Amino acid sequence: MPTLSQTAHAVATRRTRASEVLQACIARIEATEPRLNAFTGTRFEAALAQAAQIDARLSRGEAVGPLAGVPFAVKNLFDIAGEVTLAGSKVNRANPPAPADAVLVQRLQAAGAVLVGALNMDEYAYGFTTENSHEGPTHNPHRPGHSAGGSSGGCGAAVGGGQVPLALGSDTNGSIRVPASFCGVWGLKPTFGRLSRRGSFPFVASIDHLGPFADDAAGLALAYDALQGPDPLDPGCFATRVQPTHRALDQGVQGLRIGVLGGYFAEHANAPAREAVAQAAAALGARETVLWPFAAEARAAAFITSASEGGALHLQRLRERMGDFEPLSVDRFIAGALQPAAWYVRAQRFRRVYRDQVNALFRDWDLLIAPATPVPAPALGSEWIEINGQRLPCRPSIGLLTQPVSYAGCPVVAAPMWPSGTDGLPLGVQLIAAPWREDLALRAGRVLEQAGAARVKEALP
């Protein structure tokens, strides 16, 4: 199937019609959804009308956006006008429909992308496996019965399964990068505060990021550029201007100082994950090992912050409807609500020092490479995973390598790699840049793609 960037080009040059692209997309969703369970709702009728409008504009010679005719879907924590924003929950089903689309949904549609539906997720974004008791688990597109990752598991599965070339997700502790790694697709967690969060259901306001998944690196940059822009109505959006990345995507990495994260990031990664990093490093010319400051402490602080803010956010819901919460997350929300305030204050004090230490690291380096997950996708229902001979609880340990980076707010491109020793499953790497330098991470991803080191493979039929 054509990739995101190929589809956008084909529609813009009238080599194909947006309606034809969408019809193929709908057929693929209908054929694969019983196996994947990626979607929680579709809006095909509205999408067909939007695609017809794009075709009509092109026939009149009118300009269309850079994503014209590209089908996309969104994690069901994004507002879709006229639909209830579920955020993976049962509790939210009693809420009124959203009065308007989320800002990022509006921006993608303004760029010509066609919204086809909403995607499955861990309840209230608290999880790494998308084993949702209310909607059912989402399956890995390359190995049904295995995890698609989380909490944006529906996004990873939908793109990895060829249902849509573009999806919109969220990442607090790794919820874009983990599904991208498990499902073998491209993902971008931008700089904290880069993109507007208005119209999305929150999890941890001080760590939440929103960003795209795509089936090629050029498409990821196209989508990211369309999502950018200041939002004076969102106090958590710190961007003051658009900084385009797509036009500089093919500048390569010559002259960039690229290192490989060792220490914590090697100790908490199995052999296939380390091999994926070695493959990426070879393609990017990275030879030196770099140590990330206070990684273990940052992960602990991220846990404390997530539990505290998440518990406080849902305290009233827990009091009124605790029995309607997801069994895999309700105990963590309760524990977070009961957590001493002093722990949270201490985590925030540490965070200020930590960010300074991480930012200092980028005085000497432009880009750093690390595994995205310690292991490939485990089977659904797994309670334990083994990392370098150590038996660890599965669900929290999947985020061992993503949480420290989120807590610093750095932008990360998750690149799909296919090392040996995974029984044919993908296992991604993180391309980490300094805050506000998404362009460097995307350029490195493009180099990996052009070298054949990172790629999206066709999922099982």
CA–CA dist 10, 7 (Å, integer) = 5
The pLDDT of residue 461 = 72
Known catalytic residue at 5: no
| Residue 65 DSSP SS3 | coil
Phi, psi of 400 (to 5 degrees): -55, -35
Amino acid at 273: A
Backbone angles phi, psi at 288, to 5 degrees: -95, 145
Q: Which two tokens stand for residue 288?
A: 């030196």
Spans of the chain, pLDDT less than 50: none
DSSP string, 204-241: -TTT-EEEEEESSHHHHHHHHHHH----TT-TT----S
pLDDT at 460: 73
pLDDT of residue 328: 87
Residue 297 in contact with residue 354, Cβ under 8 Å? yes
**Catalytic one of 5, 151, 306, 397:** 151
Cα–Cα distance between 235 and 380 in angstroms, integer?
A: 38
- Note the Cα 190 to chain centre separation in Å: 10
- Catalytic residue status for 151: yes
Q: Which of 5, 19, 75, 189 is catalytic?
A: 75
Catalytic residue among 19, 170, 175, 308: 175
* Catalytic status, residue 170: no
Amino acid, res. 177: R
